[in-house]
Amino acid sequence: MTTIEEELDGVPTFTATGGDWASIAEEAARLGEERIVVNMGPQHPSTHGVLRLILEIDGETVREVRVGIGYLHTGIEKNMEYRTWTQGVTFCTRMDYVAPFFQEVGYCLGVEKLLGVEVPERATLVRVLLMELQRIASHLVAIATGGNELGATTMMIEGFQGREEILKIFELISGLRMNHAYVRPGGLAQDIPPGTVDAVRDMIPRMQQHVKHLRMLVAANPIFKGRSVGIGHLPLATALALGVTGPVLRSAGLPFDLRKDDPYCGYETYEFDVPTSTDSDVYSRVMLRFAEIDESVRIVRQVLDRLEKQDKSGQSHPVMVDDPGIAWPAQLAIGPDGQGNSAAHIREIMGESMESLIHHFKLVTEGFRVPAGQVHTEVEHAKGVLGVHLVSDGATRPYRAHFRDPSFTNLQALSAMCEGGQIADVVVSVASIDPVLGGVDR
């Protein structure tokens, strides 16, 4: 039921309890005042995380949208100040848990810039491979969950089946499906296992089959187009004013992509295009992500060719800088128990060299020192620009670590997308932004 609790300056304040939306709207209409405030969230369904939206609605029309965050606050940035530089990877990988490799690479690029080191070529190749596979997996989640929130369960199934193929590759390489902490300052925790290149080549057609089915479900579907074409419109000028990046910005017509505009990890050596659209609506963002998946597959195939060439060269290709003061854990490899250091390294530090044991102990417990200074690095995250600001006071842990997460910035655009539209379209607009609240509330 709906009751008038009190009047503030002659404006009635409504308290809605029980019933469904139809009864609430009917009661408000009878009282001659249809503008009410309702909460969407902060429960998880349809909000892509623990997100609270405060909607001021006039009947079915949304007049104002306010975004309430902070319900998933983890304190990751503050916790990183109390951990070594290497341990920081374990924290930042858990921010956007749908796309963890971007945080790992962005953070490590910052640490390496402070250290003044350059990682081996093979480590960079593997980083690019993982980021592009992660981009595909993240886009599949965005499209699949958006469809599920509209009632299209088949979209969810197809999208997650395609993502599952990629997660198997991540597990093969790092041992984990998510939150890997595989990328380390100075390189990688270990080299990719034998057979990885062939495994990825075999996986791509299976993943593409799911992407093909998913695209067929939405490309010309009149129901999906009816719910997405012209919905959540965000003009280019508004997107730029709000600092929006990623697929949402590119759907408004601007081909801004750090991989092209400010290359890192050797992206300038790969052939790929930056898809754009000028429709600036939900449908264009979905189709744009499909196009970006195709471009990521192009990059992955080029990386595989280079890795395969290295494997056939018969030469050693390290994945960690040749500096014993940074390379932690030293000589990490798959041991007899399936994890940990190589047997040869264990023999040395436990039975042959006291100096090696002391060095290993201090490197693991205290960490390495990073020269004083501050740095800002950026990578093209699946959702937009991910910025990393690191400050060092010369100690073994960060003085400050701060991340510009694209989900946090892009959520600013929700009001511009939704105000003046229908309440049923709010969920669709949120899905097109594809926010992950782990990154927002870090």
Residues 83-92 have pLDDT tens digits of 999 999 999 9
CA–centroid distance for 174 within its chain: 18
Rg value, the chain, Cα = 24
State the Cα–Cα distance between residues 264 and 7, nearest whole angstrom. Answer: 58
Q: Are strands 61-68 and 183-184 parallel, antiparallel or unpaired?
A: unpaired
Q: What is the pLDDT of residue 8?
A: 53
Q: What is the pLDDT of residue 1?
A: 46
Q: What is the pLDDT of residue 401?
A: 94
State the Cα–Cα distance between residues 141 and 138, nearest whole angstrom. Answer: 5
Q: Which domains does the chain have, with CATH numbers?
A: 76-328+367-407 (1.10.645.10)
Cross-strand pairs, 386: 379
| Cβ–Cβ < 8 Å for 114, 129 | no
The reply to whether omega before 42 is within 30° of 0 (cis) is: yes
| Cβ–Cβ < 8 Å for 145, 299 | no
Residue ranges of E strands in 334-428: 373-381, 384-392, 400-404
Q: What is the pLDDT of residue 170?
A: 93
State the Cα–Cα distance between residues 56 and 11, nearest whole angstrom. Answer: 14
The two structure tokens encoding residue 32:
């001659």
Helices of type H across 219-257: 222-228, 236-242, 247-250
Burial class (CB in 10 A: 0-12, 13-18, 19+), 312: exposed
State the Cα–Cα distance between residues 245 and 251, nearest whole angstrom. Answer: 10
Describe the chain by its helix, strand, coil percentages, rounded to 5.
Answer: 50, 15, 35
The list of the chain residues with pLDDT below 50 reads 1-4, 330
Q: What is the pLDDT of residue 324?
A: 78
Give buried/exposed letters for 86-109 (b at 16+ CB in 10 A, else e): bbbbbbbbbbbebbbbbbbbbbbb
Cross-strand pairs, 384: 381
Q: What is the pLDDT of residue 41?
A: 74
Q: What is the pLDDT of residue 66?
A: 87
Q: What is the pLDDT of residue 2?
A: 44
Q: What is the pLDDT of residue 202?
A: 95
pTM reported for the whole predicted model:
0.86
Q: What is the pLDDT of residue 152?
A: 83
Digit-coded pLDDT (tens) for 237-296: 999 999 999 999 999 999 999 999 999 999 999 999 999 999 999 999 999 999 999 999
Torsion, Cα of 404, 408, 414, 415 (10° steps): -90
Q: Mark residue 392 as left, alpha or beta (left: phi above 0; alpha: psi -120 to 50; beta: remaining).
A: beta
State the Cα–Cα distance between residues 103 and 403, nearest whole angstrom. Answer: 9
**DSSP result, 94-109:** TSSTTSHHHHHHHHHH
